[in-house]
A and B are shown apart, each in its own frame.
Chain A
Amino acid sequence: MTSSVKNESNSNWWKDWYNHFIAGANRLTLLIEDGINFAITSKYNPFYYHGALPQFYMWVLLLSGLLLFAYYIPTVDSAYFSTKMINAWTSVQYITESLPFGGVIRGIHRYSGDAMVLFIFLHAIRVWFTDRYRQYRWVQWTSGVVLLLMVLFIGQTGYYLVWDERSLLLTRMTVSALNALPIIGEPLKSWFLNGNTITNLTLSNFLFIHIGVSFALFFVLWVHYVRMTRPVLTPPPAVNFILVGAILLIVYLFPIACGKMADLNSQPNAYDIDWFFLWNYWLMSIMPISVFWLLMIVAGVLSLVLPAIVKNVSPPVIPAEVVINKCTGCSLCYRDCPYQAIEMVPAPAGSRFKLLATVKTARCSSCGLCVGACAFDAIDLPQLPDAAVTAQIKNLVEAK
């Protein structure tokens, strides 16, 4: 699958190195996938619907989050009922310890988030290793990186919401990190805290961010899918049961306990790290804040523009071409194109047909699926016309 690279410039060594790396990575994924196919058949191979796995957990998170939302109270200290204080922490404690199955729902919500991040990484590594992320797929890659960043941010705000000592520490760490940013740091800080100090408004802001960004996920998911015809949205039903069962097992084995309630007058300085969501707080604690921000921004931008960086490792795609006087406007290629690269437009005046297929060249992968869909030889890959293929087949048959 390595493409031959012409000797054009002196930057060839890294192209060769990169193609070599991807070819090796591809062999590795094939080895793993063949093993899985052998064990559980290709129908259930999780590598063949790896994008559907995080989406499945997204629905689990949405449902369990809805249930938690019904009992959650986003305040720090001011809501009193008779003598009993009611705040975010006590509402979470009530959910966990008093509500029937409340602790289970909370555990599902926590561990499904972890699983979603895990599967997003699996998804990203697989598309990277199999070279399925650049050229005509750059929109999917870049929107996918945005989705990952959003999911990480949503997860972190979830950790603020429970309002135990860890939440307080994370909030303070975030505030000091934002303070370290020039110019935009101050406004970001007051946006984050919804004021200048931690108040009840801070917690309602956290809840708004947590839920609001979650709903914004749907918009970015639409961008993620918009260039794909028939995206794979759900794993096979049998796998859904296994995915839910796995989460329930983890909830049973590692139930979520309530930490100590946050006390604004205390100075907590140690906490358990959730390595799926809170790794950047760990980074923050081991390096100077300026290095941390530099690292985050450079890594973020590099992942966003990765398809552009490696643009030249293979020759550009030569898009399919429609033979205008043969196209009957039957729409078969339009329906079959896996990248929404074909658009049906009104046929030119004087045509016998109503519609004409046109190729959106930037989206075309040059895969030839449209050629296979066309019964009229009206669409062709310029580098491999179907007439030439048919001639080659006839030659091979008659060569004997």
Chain B
Amino acid sequence: MAAGKTVITLICERAADLNSLLNEQDALSELPDVRVVKFPCSGMIQPLMIEAALKAGAGGVIVCGCQIGDCFYREGNKMIRDRLTGERPPGLKKAVDRRRVMALWLSRRQKERFLTEAKEFVLQMQKLDATDVSSKAAEPAAK
């Protein structure tokens, strides 16, 4: 599985509890391609950070917040959700390949769900890399 590109996970530290799944390199032990960056709240994730990850060559980005309705800081997960869907500024640039961004809303107890979704996402990204000619270039797709 380690053949694919890195998948960056931007996750709220109060959402799915990944601590037991991580190794020293902030990667999932089961899926070393998936690297994890933690935030105090998913609302802190800037669309610019997603763009930066893809531009640096990440295969995809997983955004993970708590269950919608249950943000510790009241509205953080709704904010990033609306920013990803373009309903609230600042949004993702049009050039960003939407197929390479996945959002998950998981409570602290749902790490197994995270793992299955991440596995599937990694496979999808590998498929995408194999078929998508434009992604073979150093620049992100559809510039």
Which of A's residues lie within 8 Å of B, judged by CB? 1, 30-31, 33-34, 37, 42-43, 45, 47-49, 130, 132, 228-230, 332, 336, 338-339, 365-369, 371-375, 381, 384, 386, 389-390, 392-394, 396-400
Determine the distance from Cα of A177 to Cα of B105 in the docked complex, in whole angstroms: 53
* Chain A residues with CB below 8 A from B86, complex form: none
Selected contact of B109 from candidates A31, A43, A336, A365, CB within 8 Å: A31
Residue of A nearest to B26 (CB): A396
A372 and B45 contact, CB distance less than 8 A: yes
> Knowing A367-B40, A398-B57 touch, does A393 contact B52 (C-beta < 8 A)?
yes
B68 in the interface (beta carbon within 8 A): yes
Task: List 4 additional A-B contacts (Cβ < 8 Å) besides A372-B76, A375-B46.
Answer: A42-B68, A49-B69, A368-B39, A393-B8
Are A372 and B73 CB-contacts (below 8 A) given A42-B68, A394-B52, A398-B57?
A: no
Give, as a whole number of angstroms, the nearest-CB distance from A364 to chain B.
11
Q: Is the interface of B mostly helix, strand, loop or mixed?
A: loop
How many B residues touch A, CB cutoff 8 Å?
Answer: 42
A-B contact pairs, 30 of them (CB 8 A): A1-B14, A30-B107, A30-B109, A42-B67, A42-B68, A49-B69, A336-B43, A336-B75, A338-B74, A338-B75, A365-B73, A367-B41, A368-B44, A369-B44, A369-B73, A369-B76, A369-B79, A372-B44, A372-B76, A372-B80, A374-B46, A386-B46, A389-B49, A393-B37, A393-B58, A396-B6, A396-B37, A397-B6, A397-B35, A397-B58
- Choose from A332, A393, A396 the contact partner of B89 (Cβ within 8 Å): A332
Closest residue of B by beta carbon distance from A44: B69
B124 → chain A, closest Cβ, in Å?
A: 18
CB pair A397–B46 under 8 Å, yes or no, is no
Q: Is the CB of B49 within 8 A of A400?
A: no
Complex Cα distance, B8 from A389, in Å, reads 12
B23 within 8 A of A: no
Who on chain A is nearest to B7 by CB?
A397
- Choice from B37, B41, B48 contacting A368 with Cβ under 8 Å: B41
Residue of A369, A373, A381, A389 ringed by the most chain B CB atoms within 10 A: A369
Q: Bound complex: CA of A366 vs CA of B68, how far in Å?
A: 20
Q: Are B26 and A367 in contact (CB under 8 A)?
A: no
Complex CA gap A12/B123 in Å reads: 48
Top 10 nearest A-B pairs (CB, nearest first) are: A368-B44, A48-B69, A367-B73, A369-B43, A375-B90, A396-B35, A338-B74, A397-B56, A367-B41, A394-B56
In the assembled complex, the Cα of A365 lies from the Cα of B75 at a distance in Å of 12
Instruction: Give complex CA distance A392, B90 in Å.
Output: 21
Which A residues are in CB contact (< 8 Å) with B79?
A: 336, 369, 372-373
Bound together, the chains give a CA A372 to CA B40 distance in angstroms of 11
Q: Given the complex of chains A and B, what is the CA–CA distance between A236 and B70 in angstroms?
A: 15
Determine if A384 and B37 form an interchain contact, defined as CB atoms under 8 angstroms apart: no
